[in-house]
Amino acid sequence: MNVLSHVKATIRLALPAALLGALSLPGWALIEYSDNQRETIVEMLEQLEERHYSKLEYDDTLSSQHLDSYIDSLDRGKMFFTAADVAEFEQYRTVMDEQLAAGKLDAGFVIFNRFQQRLQGRLENLLAGLTEAVAAMDFTVNESYLLDMEGREWAKSDTELDDRWRKQLKNQVLGLKLADKNAEEIAPTLEKRYKNQLKRVQQYNNQDVFQIYANSLTELYDPHTNYLSPRRSENFNINMSLSLEGIGAVLQLEDEYTKVARLVAKGPADKQGELHPSDRIVAVGQGGEGELEDVIGWRLDEVVELIRGPKDSIVRLEVIPAKAKSTDQRKVITIVRNRVKLEEQSAQKNVLEIPDGDTIIKVGVIDIPAFYIDFDAMRRGDKEYKSTTRDVKKLLQELQDEGVQGIVIDLRNNGGGSLQEANELTGLFIEYGPTVQIRHSSRRVWRDGKRLKSPYYKGPLVVLVNRLSASASEIFAGAIQDYQRGIIVGGRSFGKGTVQTLIPLTEGQLKITESKFYRISGGSTQHKGVVPDVVFPTIYDTEEIGESALDHALNWDQINPVRHHQYNDLSTVLPHVTTLFRERSVHNPDFIYLEDQVDLAQKTREIKELPLNEDVRIALRDSQEEKALKIENKLRLATGEELLTSLDDDEDEVDGGADSDTDKAVASAEEEDEEEDVLLTEAGSVLVDALRLKQQRYAVHSQENTTE
């Protein structure tokens, strides 16, 4: 959400406590709601109660949760309101449901006006003495800055709030200092950031307030149900537009940062190779030399506008990497803007050669970046229209002609797409039958799948998924698993098993979750995702990425299964395959490396406070980097590579001989491909294991029949 996330992201810096009690500020006026918004909130409540899948009633209980959600959306870090403010807001706890049903938005606007007053006062007074405050900081004092705000209480006094702001400012300054920002540039950088934020604060209008208030309610239903203001409705396709005409990244706001939710397969950022999900964008620069503009605290649409641009132009992103060894680490990534072309998202094939004793087994791989279909060409009657199923069918035949003994379908990072294609693709691997169940909020269930018997690929099959395999990918993988048609390997999938629809309102639109996907075995793909039969180590943090990482995500549940054929009895094969995989992975340096990286990331997340003593902070950073260096050298020792003396040496190797940003991007992408190939090769090995076990059982069975 644009405004909501911007409010969450507002800078947190100290100002005299006396101003917190001010009743008015220059240039500040009360924001009031309109008659159209009165009508809109009544319509929205009716739609939520009648059409949302969860069938939640907006009663006193939900009113109480709405109040907490709204206050949290405005002041998650507990940096503006005091305990006295929150106590004053208690009068609204169980009456907001009656108010909104009557078209009264008083509670939301009263609370917001108090918040904006405090926010504007903080910013104005901070800017008046920022340079002096930064210059006076003492980084030899032993104190710390709290990272985990969940357990923090509301401040009992303005003095207590001031101390929180002082530490927040000190942490930001120290972070810039340790990110190699020149000392004389720190105060001007912060001043520019805060002036931009003050300008945005002063531009808040009743649409902004209404959107925040409405969404703090809709998101109690589920994270994909949102109110879209008129402005946001116009920009509803902004992520898609960014995907097609920018860098190919889907962005979201998290507190004060613009965060990468996922990359569009084969898009500019994906092919460049350095930007990753959960990276946080802190600055954007135009061209190869343009100044990096700080975007911390910006609205999402404003950040997107900076990132978008003409084809073949350059944008530079300064990010805090998701895998940063310390919270002060920064990296600048150069990306050439382009369009994502349908043909570049097409399924591709290649062949793995997997050793099996003295022989080599050829395994076909089909990489499917998205579930695509050219609807326009299909409607025109074009017999050669592009679609996932049509392309995969051709590739299957080509691979069989090349003599492969099994197929791996690679769905890593496939965020979904056409439900029709997920169903039809499944039909290439089963004779006939249902593939998915869809239950509407009315509780009516309908099924989709392959209705007519037809030839299908009958050979060994493995499906490789990861945390970014979502939606249509989960429907396909779940069906293959339920039919026991193939073995699912990799990491647990994303877990998005809901369907949204848009409903027009008097002012804006409501995007509402109206249906839910279920597997033919009865279990939902929602929240839980598809759990692989053989689990590989993963670099993705399930606490940060996936449906289960989202607040108020709908739970996993199940409905009645559908009668369906099972093509194999994998229960007799999987224990042996899993044992063989574990035996290999114990000695596989690349798998050990991945597991060590995951363990380090987990330990980093457990850090709840950051020291504000510079020497102690540097020691913490050096300790984290030393741990990361040990992991890197452990892999290098096992693979016979030269050991590093620092992590910077590793970056130099990637950049070695690269005279341009494009060369560096290619080198980085190639390194990433090598890491991913470890998992792909292991998927091929699992297929070979299953093939060998099947052949051995067939041989034993044949021998027993002969003996008889």
Of the residues 496, 511, 516, 664, which is catalytic? 496
What are the CA-CA distances from residue 283 to residues 179, 196, 307 (Å)? 13, 13, 10
Active-site residue 383, yes or no?
Answer: no
Question: How many Å apart are CA 89 and CA 85, to the nearest integer?
Answer: 6
Q: How far apart are CA 20 and CA 164, in angstroms?
A: 14
Buried b (16+ CB within 10 A) or exposed e, 467-489: bbbbbbbbbbbbbbbbbbbbbbb
The residue annotated as part of the active site, out of 278, 471, 515, 668, is 471
Q: Which helix (H) or strand (E) holds 314?
A: strand 314-320
Marked catalytic residue, from 97, 222, 482, 533: 482
Cα 332 to Cα 263, 284, 287, 664, distances in angstroms: 17, 9, 13, 12
Task: Match 């009315």 to its residue by tokens.
Answer: 442
Residue 221 identity: Y
In this structure, are residues 81 and 75 in contact, taking their beta carbons and an 8 Å threshold? Answer: yes
Closest CA to 11 of 139, 83, 119: 119
Closest CA to 512 of 521, 520, 522, 504: 504
User: What distance in Å separates the CA atoms of residue 375 and residue 387, rounded to the nearest whole number?
Assistant: 9
Structure tokens at 394: 């051709």
**Residue 585 is a catalytic residue:** no
Residue 668: name the closest of 269, 265, 262 by CA.
269
Q: Mark whether 623 is an active-site residue.
A: no
115 vs 80: CA distance, rounded Å: 7
Give the SS3 label for residue 535: strand
Query: Strand, coil or helix: what is 613?
Result: coil
d(CA 542, CA 547): 9
Annotated catalytic residues are 471, 482, 496
